[in-house]
Amino acid sequence: MKLTDTGNLVLFNVNGSVVWQSFDHPTDCLVPGQRLFQGQQLIPSVSSTDWTAQKGLYSLQVTDQLFASVGSNPPQVYYITPSFNSIKTTKERNYILVRLFN
């Protein structure tokens, strides 16, 4: 097991191959170097001091664009990128990559 400088907790097998990493399971934030894949979403956590009254009320997702929505039925989109050049595509699915700029 290793905690990288970027905050990714990585679990290796005896051969040194990655079998699990925290970056594959985003929670309520992204850190530099982490990817948010199509189908994953960020949902803010709920606490006694959090002004969002229920879990899942707000979310951030990647499709062919980046969008944020309020969890109603149907979801009410409050932010969407008209053109998002940071969306990358692998053979599997689209993703965004968080980077730091100096």
Q: pLDDT tens digit string along 43-65?
A: 777 666 665 556 667 778 777 77
pLDDT in the model for residue 78 = 77
Q: What is the mean pLDDT of the segment spanning 23-48? A: 79
Name the phi and psi angles at 22, rounded to 5.
-65, -30
> Does residue 36 contact residue 62 with C-beta atoms inside 8 Å?
yes
- Measured between alpha carbons, how far is 85 from 36 in angstroms, rounded to an integer? 14
pLDDT, one tens digit per residue, over 68-101 is 777 777 778 877 776 555 556 556 667 777 666 6
SS3 22: helix
Predicted TM-score of the model (pTM): 0.62
Q: What is the mean pLDDT of the segment spanning 14-31? A: 87
For residue 71, what are its two tokens?
């969890």
- Measured between alpha carbons, how far is 36 from 17 in angstroms, rounded to an integer? 22
SS3 23: helix
Among the listed residues 66, 44, 48, the one whose alpha carbon sits nearest the alpha carbon of residue 57: 44
